[in-house]
Structure 1
């Protein structure tokens, strides 16, 4: 007998909640992500320079090169060689809206769990054993939470140590998701 998403609604919500709790523990108790970013020694001067341009919230690259064909131009190459080369994210002024961000993070975890549930429901019927579900869902959840972080180290200069920490997070979220789905996978007796 096949498994529907409706059969997995509780697993989807609980996996999302448990991942959200794991994320809170990672960021508020263990705090290994405190090493993700560094401060600039001349932060005030850089903030003044960026603020003087009044940039809208967004992602900026400097030096700016809007077309890869321009990379061959000597003046563009000089800017890159002189530096600094940076990717800058500009947020809205003010403290981060933590309530909104925490809700979005929870919704992200539920959405990832929904996609994992859909793929697992296509692959396995009611009554599939715990370890089979755990292994399948673990891989799916690791893909959902981890693999997408790798290109940021390849293309945007994020330190590989940051990538490793996010992949550790992905392993934790994958294990939490896999355990939740394996625990709540519909059995023949339900």
Structure 2
């Protein structure tokens, strides 16, 4: 990180190799995963879900595609998105005022 502002927001696992091996063993496809996962909101208050939260861990995990991340593509997409949003905001500002 160039600016260390958010350096304390992220931590590694003490047993990272074991965690990575356990995730690889499940062969997950790239997506966002939650543990403890609940598919229906009405089940959030169930005793089984509350027990999962008590037992821990509660995790949000993002599994990316295999390979080195290519940040240039994402930066380009973000810049195009920022340009689109700015253009729409400018258009609305001109039309409203």
| TM-score band, normalised by shorter chain | 0.7 to 0.9
Tell me if 1:104 matches 2:77: yes
Q: Could you tell me how far apart the structure 2 residues matched to 1:33 and 1:71 are?
A: 31
Which residue, out of 9, 20, 23, partners 1:47? 20
**What TM-score do you get using the length of structure 1 for normalisation?**
0.46
Listed one character per residue, the Cα deviations across residues 95-132 of structure 1 (whole Å, up to 9, x for unaligned) are 111221121121121122112212211133xxxxxxxx
Which residue, out of 67, 72, 93, partners 2:66? 93
Tell me if 1:68 matches 2:41: yes
Q: Could you tell me how far apart the structure 2 residues matched to 1:74 and 1:100 are?
A: 44
Shift in alpha-carbon separation, 1:97–1:72, aligned structure 2, 3 A: same
* Count of residues in Structure 1 that have an aligned counterpart in Structure 2: 97
Where structure 2 has 5 or more consecutive residues not aligned to the other structure, the ranges are none
Structure of larger gyration radius: 1
Relative contact order, higher structure (CA 8 A, sep 6+):
1
Please tell me the root mean square deviation across aligned C-alpha atoms, in Å.
1.9
